[in-house]
Structures are given as C-alpha cells and as structure tokens.
Structure 1
C-alpha cells in the first residue's frame, strides 16, 4: 500500500514537470533578441532546464521528504493508493510552497 502510494506521488512529480516542458517547448522564440546579457538567448527548453537545475531540484527534494511523511501517515488510514499518493504529493508541494513563502517573509 505504502509503496504504491509513493509510486503514484512519483508519477505526479514526473508528469507535471514533463507537461510544463512540453508546453514551454512549443513557445516561439522572439526574433531579433538582444543577446548581450547573460542567459538572454536561451531557448524556452534551455530556460526550463536551467530553472529545474537551480530551483527545481531543491524544491523536489523538499517535496519528496514531505510526501514520504504524509504517505506513511495516510497509507494506514486510506486504502486507495491513488488517493493517498495524490494527496501526499499535493501536501508535499503545498508544504514546500509554505516554506518558501515563510522564507520570503523573513527577508
């Protein structure tokens, strides 16, 4: 039960960034861009890749920790792995968003 829930949560963590990557890869590149600034001439796919390296990996790690904790608690109560995995993935994303918002409040 717990493993199936984690696989569902992992599926959400793979599908959503893949959908964002597919959506951004279809964006046209503006002609006549000024490439004098650093990272100003990256394609949309390269921008997503750079964003995922610097921001996405730490967020994914934090969300994964929260997801495992929530899935461990919910797997004992809820008997459907799809519901448990989806709720735990959502709690992981919301938990990380709350931590980021709290960190911005301290600045």
Structure 2
C-alpha cells in the first residue's frame, strides 16, 4: 500500500528540544515514517486553555501542521496510467489535548 502500513504501522516524532516562539513553540526532533528518520522543526500553536475546576490545574490544546516530501521517506508510488498525478507533499496534522490528572 501507499504508506506500507503493514510493514511500518507507526509514524513517530520524538523531540529533542522545544523552543518558545511568539505564537507557540517549535519542537526540534526526529520524524520517522516508513522506517526512515529525518530531522524536522515542527511548529506548534496553542489553540485552547482552560482550568479544571476540580483541581485548579490547566488543560491545554495544541495543533501542529507540517508539509513533508513523501519521496524523502522512500514513498515513490505513482499511478501507472496517469504519471505525476500524485503530488509529493504529505500534510501531517497533529491535534493534541493535555489533561491534568490528580495523582
């Protein structure tokens, strides 16, 4: 299949450093897809914040979007009868919600 999900069932991002920016953060780290890892800078924006009334802790919502070239990860599939009909760009979108817990 296109992303070889049977062979590579996970797409992973592991950050080394997270820097604060004017409108959020940039996570610097390693993105792995189809068994190939690349260093990327992932821009992250804070999109929501609330305080849990039960414990006073803050819950946050984040979103991150990055466009990657699929051929950098050895995804080279093309339609056989319509060459170049499939673009190289893959848009990765992460929506993250933190939840504070009482330990």
Smaller-chain TM-score bracket: under 0.3
Q: Which has the higher contact order (CA 8 A, sep 6+)?
A: 1
TM-score by length of 2: 0.22
